[in-house]
Amino acid sequence: MRFLLGIAAGALGMWAYKNGKLQGIMGAAPESFQQQVSSASDRVKQAASHPQVQDVISAVGNRTGVSTGEPQIITPSASEVAGRPSEPLPRETP
């Protein structure tokens, strides 16, 4: 139950952040709370930029095969594209 509650809180926070609602909520919060959130955010940024953390992230990425850099865009060759239909196939209804 706690797990689902955590997911719901995370989804709500992500929605508020993406839609700019979080800044409005933070503007109405007491100044001491705003300072605490700001200092926590700064600490997280500092920790993420620490060389040891970067080394761990790259090591985990190498072991799992996940790239930590920019995603690479793969362009199909002409022979791959030639075998594809010009229009999408119709969906089958179950």
Reading the chain (94 residues) residue by residue, the pLDDT tens digits are: 788 888 888 888 778 777 777 667 666 667 777 788 788 888 878 877 788 878 887 787 777 766 556 667 778 777 777 776 677 777 777 6
Tell me how crowded residue 54 is: count the other CB atoms within 10 A of its CB. 12
Q: Please tell me whether the overall predicted TM-score, pTM, comes out greater than 0.85 for this model.
A: no
Q: How far is CA 5 from CA 13, 47, 82, 91, in A?
A: 12, 27, 49, 36
